[in-house]
Structure 1
């Protein structure tokens, strides 16, 4: 192609919204029109929306004049005119609001309009259900009873319902008296029949799919996910959470801003009966819903490799200066995302500058083609983000995306370590919000309040029936339970759920603290999983206490940055390491990985011993029962292993390769249960 003249193809390329990289400084000599002139003539997507608004306004004025001064039409024609008049008024209003709203330059005009309408409808639905939650919370126990009896009535004709005579149960008291507390083994034979293709086993008909748990705190479980749960989550709980978060925490969010969702897709398996088996977090949305919500195009939301997916999410997020939110399931994935930015930013800047995707990124050719078709060269934005990267990564999130409103990810339990690292470095100034308290077994509560990294959730009284087992009775097979209005503020309880997914009085393994009440409905703070406690003398030290002790110790030792930690009890450690002479007094073995361990602990054993002593002292302050057993010498002092850099990632990958957990589901266990996990970390001890 000539470098002196712009051909018809070049002009078409520009006018169609793609910037040509050929002959950028040349002109059309016959007309004296430069390329920069043509770029000025090109309509932006917002200009197109504004033209749509002018068109609607014209129709509005014309029809208004007709209705006021024109010939009186027939009733049918009059109705049609009023209908069109209303639509034109609405179109003019929407176009005006869009033209004044913050929006990414890369969103097509028709997507902007759909996104705006979706945002407003979502907010209206959410406001309605929030008002309903307020009413339900004032009569919590009545709402709980209504939910329970309705579920028993719906499930009465299932095989499970017939086995337990649901049709004869008429009250909460009768249900608690006749139905035992359960764990997963109670349902195994029923789920096996569902998986084999039998209908009406635990719910009427077939479930929508079998949800599979991560299995990182025990054997993976399969739960029959009902259509009722899917509908309630999409059309009730999520709009409710969306509206609440917008009003309370992100009031400046524009209807046209998008979220970068750090999603890694999982291809579902099939049960013998043909049901899909997949995590409940698996997205299966129409492309249009992806486009109006997320910064990554639909093809990027179907990537199954974590590294590739995070790179693509980063690339499309970087082109959007107006990004509204960053979201994922766990803070560990969010932290990995920022590490990808830190390590791959030169490639990302280059791709952004040239409108391409790095050749060494492993993508199928069709996927690469689809994604690159969504890109265009953006040298100005590339220069802007490169300048911020060169300044370093402290507070990088708000420097890259100045309109960012928040980080959405679970920050409690095992994730608190990653949440602190995010707030200390990458996401300074941004709230980290965990909007729902949910698991494979069911959605328990929604966000009520956030203070730092501590989240309070309000129980959803008309969506799940909750019973509370005092933690001191948790060792019993069938302990007495309390109802929602009977719990005591400040006390900890193990949860037992009855859900829409045919789980009844199910001990899910979560321990929560009652943080207060809203009206008559309890507010919950997640504490730990029952399987994550360290226990050598019935002291039951939760992971939160260990994490708090490590954090307190690091605060005393300036300049140390925690990567992650995990722990185990001495009997399992000694078995894993084939130690014949077992210790007569149990102890905790704690594994810690630091970012730069060699500088402080490389060869200085005294420093290691001092750190271990400080950690021991802090753990005794954090865990009362542990301190009691230490005082009477029934438990020996902790033993500490510092890990080589990369050891935690190696364990994480080892677990992923040998389990059904997906990348997004996996939570690094903070209690090691398997001897091979322990041996792997012991073999990665920091060399003395």
Structure 2
């Protein structure tokens, strides 16, 4: 490593140390900066009357939900001046995925957001490179995608955060650090047809298989989808490589031209090698088999993504799985400073330079307690409130976090759950965390049948009396592409284990007859791809897509119901 590179690494590490050691000073300065810029916006002027004092802010500015600021945002969307909500120009709007909470939100952004996103991309890679050697000269097999941007009546673009970033000069003019070196050309990332993009990603990945040192995607579910897509399309990819010709259905011109250059001349030797691996009975360990120099996987695996970890471990032979950062459409939060920890132990160190953070104490009874970032207490549960540069002030995020420790003076948080309820038939309260834990226990039962749970969702069926919980499960065999014959006893046992793992409130009402027997409906393979396609037609992005843990859309339920193959119920109560 060169002297220049050594000095750069030490400087980067010093910046992280300084940021996490001076949290209070940085947060106070950041709040003063934000309030000075925004005090005379129409939104804040009602509360601050032009002032920018911290105590005035604390005493006068209310905690806000999206519904509280929606009308102000919509006025800017429709062409009114940005100073309705922001003291500096709004350059676009970010669309939330809409698959977690059921409704898509439109969040104002400016260049500060993109600067912060660039900061997160860069420094999370610095942290990873401290723990894993040999990354400097390799490439990333990273499944990045873009969605077509919309134009608002104001003439400003509206898109998901990643699309905003990849289409911006912050990405286009990036420096050639290892973490920006991808197997896929930018034209593949920018292709708005996600099927063409995914196919070309995989083709480029395989051609450059000996250069891949990391595999990545925004969410673990995207990686699982990429592997299942490869299972269906590897023969066609091999044919492209064997004859040096890209499939005719890749019609995006920029994508086609750039990928054809990488494809190059016919390569029957590589095609034979890939064919040999993909033809084996089991796809266990397929990632290191096809990309033998891969050192780790970088993808968010916390929250509802945790359900996909066993499947990804099957495909990767348990390569290190790194959940590197905690980000949202509203702000960046922090970085995992211990990247090689187990997925269930992931905590994120909040970076005080990104937004002003406050925290609402959860389960405090009648007590309404808001504390600053430096005043959170170990072991307590909080909901973060965000004040950023683009018009959100004391904004409720809806996430529930637990304080797990401190890195210097910067608190570290574990994602616990979304704040909203998932399922309720009677008076019970079943959260996404409750449901995920219960399904995780049931997965152990599947192991005896060599079945994998590829994805699931749920809803409350109140068409029956009493109402009951319904889980839709998509299953797959570990050692062949089709699922084995489903054993009725195994699936009934899974139903029982899910119920046994739910909270005492559920069990009490279940025993009392207020809740009916829990049901698992097994759906055809490919059902959850169809569900994703449905949500994409409704405006969701494949990059940000998360399978809803609870289905609220009647149209989405129709997609699932049309694919149901078998139904199973609990029999232990």
TM surpasses 0.5:
yes
Equivalent position to 1:243, from 114, 118, 126 = 126
What are the Cα deviations for residues 19-61 of structure 1, in whole angstroms up to 9, with x where unaligned? xxxxxxxxxxxxxxxxxxxxxxxxxxxxxxxxxxxxxxxxxxx
Aligned mates of 2:459, 2:432 — CA distance in 1: 11
State the 1:310 CA deviation: 1.2
State the 1:182 CA deviation: 0.5
Cα distance change of structure 1 residues 608 and 412 upon mapping to structure 2, 3 Å threshold: same
Contact in 2 for aligned 1:126/1:239 (Cα 8 Å): no
Q: For residue 72 of structure 2, what is the aligned residue in structure 1? A: 190
For residues 222-621 of structure 1, the aligned pairs below 5 Å read 222-234=106-118, 236-248=119-131, 250-253=132-135, 255-282=136-163, 283-284=166-167, 285=169, 289=174, 293-320=181-208, 321-359=210-248, 361-365=249-253, 367-377=255-265, 378-391=267-280, 392-424=282-314, 426-449=315-338, 450-454=340-344, 455-472=346-363, 479-531=368-420, 533-557=422-446, 558=448, 559-571=450-462, 574=463, 582-583=465-466, 586-595=467-476, 599-601=484-486, 604=488, 608-619=491-502
Contact in 1 for aligned 2:523/2:563 (Cα 8 Å): yes
Equivalent position to 2:28, from 135, 145, 157 = 145
Cα distance change of structure 1 residues 301 and 646 upon mapping to structure 2, 3 Å threshold: closer
SS class of match (1:310): helix
Q: For residue 16 of structure 2, what is the aligned residue in structure 1? A: 130
For residues 621-660 of structure 1, the aligned pairs below 5 Å read 623-627=503-507, 629-630=509-510, 635-657=515-537, 659-660=538-539
Cα distance change of structure 1 residues 167 and 301 upon mapping to structure 2, 3 Å threshold: same
Cα distance change of structure 1 residues 165 and 134 upon mapping to structure 2, 3 Å threshold: closer
Aligned mates of 2:144, 2:175 — CA distance in 1: 11
Decide which structure has the larger Cα Rg and report it.
1
State the 1:662 CA deviation: 1.0
What are the Cα deviations for residues 479-523 of structure 1, in whole angstroms up to 9, with x where unaligned? 432333443333322222212232111111111122222233321
Q: For residue 571 of structure 2, what is the aligned residue in structure 1? A: none
Contact in 2 for aligned 1:570/1:589 (Cα 8 Å): yes
State the 1:681 CA deviation: 2.6
Aligned mates of 1:422, 1:678 — CA distance in 2: 27
Identify which of structures 1 and 2 has the higher relative contact order when contacts are C-alpha pairs closer than 8 Å and 6+ apart: 2
Cα distance change of structure 1 residues 594 and 279 upon mapping to structure 2, 3 Å threshold: same
Q: For residue 214 of structure 1, what is the aligned residue in structure 2? A: 97
What TM-score do the two structures reach when normalised by structure 2? 0.87
Aligned mates of 2:359, 2:414 — CA distance in 1: 13
State the 1:150 CA deviation: 1.9
Pairwise CA RMSD of aligned residues? 2.9
Aligned mates of 1:409, 1:223 — CA distance in 2: 24
State the 1:313 CA deviation: 0.8
Q: For residue 570 of structure 2, what is the aligned residue in structure 1? A: none
Corresponding position: 1:664 with 2:543: yes
State the 1:267 CA deviation: 1.9
Cα distance change of structure 1 residues 364 and 462 upon mapping to structure 2, 3 Å threshold: closer
Number of equivalences: 547
What TM-score do the two structures reach when normalised by structure 1? 0.73
Cα distance change of structure 1 residues 149 and 630 upon mapping to structure 2, 3 Å threshold: farther
Q: For residue 552 of structure 2, what is the aligned residue in structure 1? A: 673
For residues 13-162 of structure 1, the aligned pairs below 5 Å read 123=9, 126-136=12-22, 140-162=23-45
Aligned mates of 2:251, 2:458 — CA distance in 1: 38
More helix by share: 1
Aligned mates of 2:363, 2:233 — CA distance in 1: 49
State the 1:340 CA deviation: 2.3
Cα distance change of structure 1 residues 341 and 177 upon mapping to structure 2, 3 Å threshold: same
Contact in 2 for aligned 1:207/1:225 (Cα 8 Å): yes
SS class of match (1:588): strand
SS class of match (2:113): helix
